[in-house]
Amino acid sequence: GTSCGAVTSEPQTASIEDKTPSIGVFEITGVTEICSGTSTNLECTHVNGGTYLWNTGATTRSINTGNLTDDTNYSVTVTKVNGTCSATKTANIAITVNALPSAPSLSNPEAICEGTTFTLPEKDDSKKTITWNVNNRELTNLSVGPHTYTAKIVENGCESEATTYTI
């Protein structure tokens, strides 16, 4: 007979190169607590070769929120492409919007004589602490003479409208 002989095969190794791009760690930075009616800038960490898409539709690395009146959440999705492979990651940030306090409610002071002093109240009629100003300068000494003063309430870093107080 004929002999076909033994067939031997060597194991073959195939290498698969992972071409999925790496995005790495990234985040959104910016002020996360603001006053009603104000805005803040938000910025995403730079991702080399990445594209950005914010939930607002913006495609830049940073955005301005515009004037906010309510708590708002923002997110940005970064996409990085390498040939036919792509990777995406999303980061989120919450902006807390603090309400503006009401303007101080003050009872009218008694009239005082020229050359005498009057102590401005530290709290308004609703017991909120007042910040006093004269000519756009904050007063540290509340013992004052006849003049027109402005009073504001500051809460959570937010300032009320001014109330004029004339002595």
Using a pLDDT cut of 70, give the percent of the chain over it. Answer: 86
78 pLDDT tier (thresholds 50, 70, 90): very high
pLDDT of residue 107: 72
The region of weakest confidence among 50-54, 99-103, 121-125, 150-154 is 121-125
Cα(150)–Cα(72) distance, integer angstroms = 33
Residue 69 has pLDDT above 90, yes or no: yes
5 pLDDT tier (thresholds 50, 70, 90): low
Cα(71)–Cα(65) distance, integer angstroms = 11
Residue 28 has pLDDT above 80, yes or no: yes
pLDDT of residue 151: 84
Which tokens hold the place of 61? 């690395």
Instruction: Tell me the per-residue pLDDT of 94-140, one tens digit each, with 9 for 90 and over.
Output: 999 999 988 887 776 666 677 777 777 788 777 788 888 887 778 77
| Closest C-alpha among 90, 58, 63, 89 to residue 75 | 90
pLDDT of residue 15: 66
22 pLDDT tier (thresholds 50, 70, 90): confident
Which tokens hold the place of 65? 């929120």
